Amino acid sequence: MRAVLALTISFVAVWLTACSSKPDAPSASARSNTTYVEIFHDVSPDKLNGLSISPDYLRDVLRMIELGGRKTIFASLLAEWIKQGVIPDNDSIVLCFDDGEPGALDYAEPILREFGMQATAFVFTSGIDDGRPRHMGWDDLLQLVARGAWEVHSHSHTHPILYQQSDDAIREELITSLDRLQRHDLALYAPLFAYPSGTNDPRVQQAVRDAGYFAAFKAGPIPSATSGADLFAIPRNTITQFYDQDLICRKLGVDLKEIRKKLIILEESEGSFDGGWSQIQCTPDAPRGQHGKGYAASKAGNAKWQVEIEIQEAGFYAIGIWLPPIGMKDAPFELRIQQEGLDGSFKNESLPGVRNGWNRLGGLDLNAGKLTLSIQSLGEQPLILDAVRLMRTEEPRPRRRLLNNHNPALRRTTRIVSSCRAATFSIAAARYLAAPSGSRYAFITRSAICEPSV
Ligand SMILES: [Zn+2]
C-alpha cells in the first residue's frame, strides 16, 4: 500500500511585503556615491530567532558582499567622508554589530577574518559592565580591537529610547557611555554614536553633538548614505536571518544578476545527481580555504538529486531544506520521500513562502529501513540548494502535520524539532572544506548529528 502525501507549504508572509516592494537599485550615474551601512546583532548557531543570525548565514551575506565587489570600511571612515562632503567610491560598505552580544567575538570576528573584512561594534556600556553570558566584557572588546579589523563605539549606556527621556537623562546616557569606553581606551578619537533602536529627534541629536560625539547613526529602511547625509542621522538597517536573496541584495546595494554571473560552474555532477545538476563554487578566484563552499545547482528542469538513507528508528520525522541566499527561491521543486508503503512529497507550489536559510517543510511518520530522498527541479529556472535535513522528533506527531517555522501556533512543535536528533545531508558537501580551486568534492556526507536533548 502506498499512501501519497501531497503537502503544500504555506508560510506566514511577514517578509513578503518587504520582498514585493520595488527594488531600490542604485544607479551610479544618476546619484552621488553611496555607502551602505548594515546592522547585525548576535551571531549564534543556536539562537536563530529575532535579531540573531547563524554563522552560516553571516558567511552567505559576506559572500554576497564579496561577490558584489564591495569592500568594508569602518563607520568612522564613512563619518569622515560625510564630514568632508565626499564619498570617494561606490564600493564601500559598513558592517555594524550592535549591543555587544558575545557572537561578535565568538563567531563574527573569525568569519570576518576569513573574508578580510572590517566591522564596527556599537555597544551599550552597562551591558559590557555586566559581561557574559549575555554581553561581551571589556576584555572581549579589547580583544576585538587588538585583532585589527574592529572599532568599538557607543550605543548609549543602558539602551533606552532616548527621545522619551529627560534632557538630563539623555546627557547622562551619552556621557557615561563615552566615559566608560574611553576609560578602556576605546572610542578615543572621533567617537561615534548609534541611537538605541535607531530612534532620535532634533533634541536627541543636539545632545549627542553637545556630548562630544563626531557623528551618529539612525535607522533607515534602505541603509544608504550619500555625501549629503546628515552627520548626526546616517542611516543604517538591520539584516535578519529571514531575508531572501533579493531583499539582502537591496539592503547591501549589490546587484544579484552580477553576483550570479560570478558563480563558477566547477564540474558536472555524478552519481546520485542526474539531469543537469552541477556543483557551483561561489568564489571566483582560488578559495581562501577556510570557507570554500559549494551548492548544488540544477541547470535545467527535471534535474534530480537523490540519496538513500537507512532509517534506524521508526517514528515521526520533520524534514527541512536549506536554500542559500544566493539560491533561486522562485524555482519550483518537489522533495520526495519514498519508503516501502510510503510515497510522500512536498511541492513548493506556494514558493514565495520559501525563504533562504532553513525551511522546515513538514513532517511524516517513517518506518525503520531504507528510505529514498530526492529533489527534483520542476521549472526552467535554475535551483540552488545546499542541504536537506531529516529530524527525528521525540514525541509522536500526527501524520501530515505541517511544521511551519513562521506560524506562532506551531512554535512549540518547532522547538521540539530543533532539540531532536537530526541528520543533515549536505547536497554539495563543500561547506567549509579547504579545497583548491577546481577540486572535486564529495557529494553526499552526513554532516551533522546532534543528540536528542532530554
Ligand atoms: Zn541596540
φ, ψ dihedrals at 371, nearest 5°: -140, 140
Separation of CA 352 and ligand 1 centre (Å): 30
Cβ atoms of 94 and 72 closer than 8 Å? yes
Cell representation of residue 153: 563605539
Q: What is the pLDDT of residue 172?
A: 98
Cβ atoms of 123 and 140 closer than 8 Å? no
CATH superfamily of 26-254: Glycoside hydrolase/deacetylase (3.20.20.370)
DSSP code of residue 116: T
Residues with Cβ within 8 Å of 219's Cβ and at least 6 positions away in sequence, in order, are 195, 197, 198, 199, 235, 236, 237, 238
Amino acid identity for residue 195 in this structure: Y
Range(s) for CATH 3.20.20.370 in the chain? 26-254
DSSP code of residue 427: S
Separation of CA 68 and ligand 1 centre (Å): 27
Separation of CA 100 and ligand 1 centre (Å): 9
pLDDT tens for the chain, 454 residues long, are 333 333 322 222 222 222 333 334 444 433 479 999 999 999 988 765 678 888 878 887 887 888 788 999 999 999 999 999 999 999 999 999 999 999 999 999 999 998 899 999 999 999 999 999 999 999 999 999 999 899 999 999 999 999 999 999 999 999 999 999 999 999 988 999 999 999 999 999 999 999 999 999 999 878 899 999 999 999 999 998 767 667 888 889 988 777 766 654 433 222 345 555 554 444 333 333 223 345 566 666 667 777 776 676 676 666 777 666 555 556 777 777 788 777 766 666 544 456 666 666 666 667 777 878 778 877 776 666 666 666 665 544 433 333 333 333 333 333 333 333 344 444 433 322 222 233 222 222 222 222 222 2
Cell representation of residue 351: 514558493
Separation of CA 34 and ligand 1 centre (Å): 24
Separation of CA 215 and ligand 1 centre (Å): 17
Separation of CA 92 and ligand 1 centre (Å): 23
Q: What is the pLDDT of residue 69?
A: 84
Among left, alpha and beta (phi > 0; psi -120 to 50; other), residue 172 is alpha
How far is C-alpha 113 from the chain's CA centre?
17
Cβ atoms of 75 and 192 closer than 8 Å? yes
Topology of the domain comprising 3-9+263-450? Jelly Rolls (2.60.120)
Cell representation of residue 421: 536528533
Which helix (H) or strand (E) segment holds residue 22: the answer is: none
Q: Which residue has the cell 538597517?
A: 237
Range(s) for CATH 2.60.120.260 in the chain? 3-9+263-450
Separation of CA 83 and ligand 1 centre (Å): 24
Q: What is the pLDDT of residue 4?
A: 36
Is the preceding omega at residue 133 within 30 degrees of 0, hence cis?
Answer: yes
Separation of CA 440 and ligand 1 centre (Å): 44
d(CA 120, CA 118): 7
Q: What is the pLDDT of residue 84?
A: 94
Separation of CA 158 and ligand 1 centre (Å): 10
Separation of CA 279 and ligand 1 centre (Å): 39
CA-wise closest residue to 37 among 9, 3, 14, 70: 70
Separation of CA 189 and ligand 1 centre (Å): 22
| E strands present in 340-428 | 342-347, 357-366, 369-377, 383-385, 387-392, 421-426
Among left, alpha and beta (phi > 0; psi -120 to 50; other), residue 277 is beta
The length of the chain in residues reads: 454
Separation of CA 345 and ligand 1 centre (Å): 42
Separation of CA 136 and ligand 1 centre (Å): 14
Query: How do 342-347 and 277-281 pair as beta strands?
Result: unpaired
Separation of CA 417 and ligand 1 centre (Å): 30
Q: How many degrees, rounded to 5, is the angle at CA 88 between CA 282 and CA 115?
A: 25
How is 147-179 classified by DSSP, letter by letter? TSSEEEEE--SS---GGGS-HHHHHHHHHHHHH
Q: What is the pLDDT of residue 76?
A: 96
Separation of CA 430 and ligand 1 centre (Å): 35
Separation of CA 309 and ligand 1 centre (Å): 45
CA-wise closest residue to 118 among 96, 89, 135, 146: 96
For residues 137-148, one letter each, b for 16 or more C-beta atoms within 10 angstroms of the residue's C-beta and e for the rest, the string is bbebbeebeeee
Q: What is the pLDDT of residue 386?
A: 64
Which helix (H) or strand (E) segment holds residue 146: the answer is: helix 138-146
Separation of CA 11 and ligand 1 centre (Å): 28
Cell representation of residue 99: 549591543
Separation of CA 98 and ligand 1 centre (Å): 5
Distance in angstroms between the alpha carbons of the first and the last residue of the chain? 35
Q: What is the pLDDT of residue 35?
A: 96
Maximum distance among all Cα pairs of the chain, rounded to whole angstroms: 77
Q: What is the pLDDT of residue 423?
A: 45
Separation of CA 124 and ligand 1 centre (Å): 7
Q: What is the pLDDT of residue 347?
A: 66
